[in-house]
Amino acid sequence: ETGVTQTPRHLVMGMTNKKSLKCEQHLGHNAMYWYKQSAKKPLELMFVYNFKEQTENNSVPSRFSPECPNSSHLFLHLHTLQPEDSALYLCASSPQSGSAYNEQFFGPGTRLTVL
Instruction: Determine if 59 is a binding residue for another protein (CB under 8 A).
Output: no
- Alpha carbon separation from 9 to 22, 81, 100, 108 (Å, rounded): 10, 18, 30, 8
Instruction: Determine if 92 is a binding residue for another protein (CB under 8 A).
Output: yes
Return the residue of 11, 21, 32, 48 that touches another protein, per CB under 8 A: 48
Tell me the Ramachandran region of residue 63: left when phi exceeds 0, alpha when psi lies from -120 to 50, beta otherwise. alpha
**Collapsed DSSP state (helix, strand, coil) of residue 85:** helix
Return the residue of 17, 52, 56, 80 that touches another protein, per CB under 8 A: 56
Tell me the Ramachandran region of residue 52: left when phi exceeds 0, alpha when psi lies from -120 to 50, beta otherwise. left
Return the residue of 25, 30, 93, 94 that touches another protein, per CB under 8 A: 94
CB of 16 to another protein, least distance (A): 28
Residues of this chain that bind another protein (CB under 8 A) = 1-2, 4, 6, 31, 33, 40-43, 45, 48, 50, 55-56, 90, 92, 94, 96-109
